[in-house]
Structure 1
Amino acid sequence: MSISNELWLSRKTKILGYNLIKQLNVGMGFGLAGYLHVNHCYNNHEAVLVWLEHFLTENPEIDNFNSIKTEFLKYFPESSYVIA
């Protein structure tokens, strides 16, 4: 029996998540999982995607990218980012 390490994410999560990663210039390293309250085994990109999958499941009415971005940024101290 083989176990895949692939994350199972909705198409919507992938589209919005990679857009969020690109727009906020999220690096591939580690460290965001703690802020996002997801398992620490995930790298930053995976943590964003897992967080987003949970967020969209809990808030199915929210599909506006700017609303998602605003909610995402609430997980971080204001001093850790600058919105351009």
Structure 2
Amino acid sequence: MSYAKAIFPYQTGVIGDLELQVDDVIEVLEQVDVNWTRGKLNGKIGLVPCKFIQQLPTVDIDNSQSLYIAHTDYRSDHEGDLQFRR
């Protein structure tokens, strides 16, 4: 499983294309050709132009682990709290 992050907004009226906002993280399903990737975002599957996304590093996890992606930054002043950036 691989993921990519939108580096530019992509607004289209074309049926079958995904619309993107900057920092959206999509699941990459297939590299269609050098210009297009098929991905999944918020339960929708569609095409996105490769120049509008940046591949994210892959992470190997086994079936006993879960992978979570932050949609917003979280900072805490409480000692021991996990902090993260999206």
Larger radius of gyration: 2
Q: Answer 1 or 2: which has greater strand percent.
A: 2
Task: Point out the structure with the larger helix share.
Answer: 1
For the aligned pair, the TM-score class normalised by the smaller chain equals: under 0.3
**TM-score when normalising by structure 1:** 0.22
